[in-house]
C-alpha cells in the first residue's frame, strides 16, 4: 500500500470514488464536471490532495488545506477557469446550489480559529484499514509543514461509524454547530503533539 500526492491524471478516479461513497452529499449533486474542477483546485498549495493505492490501484483519497484562512478563495484562484466553467453549468442547471456554495464558503471564512483542515476523505470498502493509513499519512504530511492543529467536520446525526473512526484516530470534539439549513455537525480537532 502506498500514499502519495495526487496528479491531474488521478482526478477522474478520485471523482469516481467520491461519487460511489458520497452519494447523498451536496457536492455530489453538482455533478462530475464540477467535482473534477473542485478537486483540481486541491492539486496546488495551500490545497492538499493525497491518494492511497493498493496494488497500483487508487482506492481512496484525502483532500484538505494547510490553513482555513481564506482557503475557499485560494481554491477558486487555483483553478479559476475550471470553476468559472463549472459555475456556469451549475447556474443553468441548479441555480439554488450557488446560494448554498456561497453560504458554506461564507460560514467557513467566519471560523474563530486557524487550523489545517481535512475537507474530504473517502476510501473504497475494505478490510485493510485504508482510511486509517490515509488519514495518518495526511496528518504526517500536514504536520511536517505546519504547526496548526488539523480540523474536520462531519455529520452529527446517523453517522456513528465515521464519528468512531475519527475518535479512534485521536480527534476530539471541538464544537457542535448548525450548517446549511440547520444540519447539525461536529467540528473535530487534533493537535500537532
Ligand atoms: C470514513 C472512511 C474514510 C473510513 O475509512 P475506512 O477505510 O473505512 O476505515 P478503516 O481504516 O477503519 O478500515 C476499514 C476496515 O478495515 C479494518 N482493518 C483495519 N486494519 C486492518 C487490518 N490490518 N486487517 C484487517 N482489517 C483491518 C477496520 O477494522 C475496518 O473494518 P470495519 O469497516 O468493519 O470497521 C470510509 O468509511 C469512507 O470513505 N466512508 C464514506 C465517505 C465518508 O463518509 N467520509 C467521511 C466524511 S466526514
pLDDT above 70: residue 144: yes
Inter-residue contact 88 to 81 (CB < 8 Å): no
Model pLDDT for residues 34-45, shown as the tens digit of each residue: 999 999 999 999
Is residue 136 within 6 Å of ligand 1 at its C-beta?
A: no
12-16, 64-68, 189-193, range with the lowest pLDDT = 189-193
Compute the distance between CA of residue 15 and CA of residue 167 in angstroms, rounded to an integer: 26
Ligand 1 mean position, distance from CA 99 (Å): 33
**What pLDDT, on the 0 to 100 scale, is given for residue 109?**
66
**What pLDDT, on the 0 to 100 scale, is given for residue 39?**
98
What residue ranges do the domains of the chain occupy? 2-190
**174: its cell numbers:** 471541538
**CATH architecture of the region 2-190:** 3-Layer(aba) Sandwich (3.40)
Is residue 174 within 6 Å of ligand 1 at its C-beta?
A: no
Amino acid at each position: 500500500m502506498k500514499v502519495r500526492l495526487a496528479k491531474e491524471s488521478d482526478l477522474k478516479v478520485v471523482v469516481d470514488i467520491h461519487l460511489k461513497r458520497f452519494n447523498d452529499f451536496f457536492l455530489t449533486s453538482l455533478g462530475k464536471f464540477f467535482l473534477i474542477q473542485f478537486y483540481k483546485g486541491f492539486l496546488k498549495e495551500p490545497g492538499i490532495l493525497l491518494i492511497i493505492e493498493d496494488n497500483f490501484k487508487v482506492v481512496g483519497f484525502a483532500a484538505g488545506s494547510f490553513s482555513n484562512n481564506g482557503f475557499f478563495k485560494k481554491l477558486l484562484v487555483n483553478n479559476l477557469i475550471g470553476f468559472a466553467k463549472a459555475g456556469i453549468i451549475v447556474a443553468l442547471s441548479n441555480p439554488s446550489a450557488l446560494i448554498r456554495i456561497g453560504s458554506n464558503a461564507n460560514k467557513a471564512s467566519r471560523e474563530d480559529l486557524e487550523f489545517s483542515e481535512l475537507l474530504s476523505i473517502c476510501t473504497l470498502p475494505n478490510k485493510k484499514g485504508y482510511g486509517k493509513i490515509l488519514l495518518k499519512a495526511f496528518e504526517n504530511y500536514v504536520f511536517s509543514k505546519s504547526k496548526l492543529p488539523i480540523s474536520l467536520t462531519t455529520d452529527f446525526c446517523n453517522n456513528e461509524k465515521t464519528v468512531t473512526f475519527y475518535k479512534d484516530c485521536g480527534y476530539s470534539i471541538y464544537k457542535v454547530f448548525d450548517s446549511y439549513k440547520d444540519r447539525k455537525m461536529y467540528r473535530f480537532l487534533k493537535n500537532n503533539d
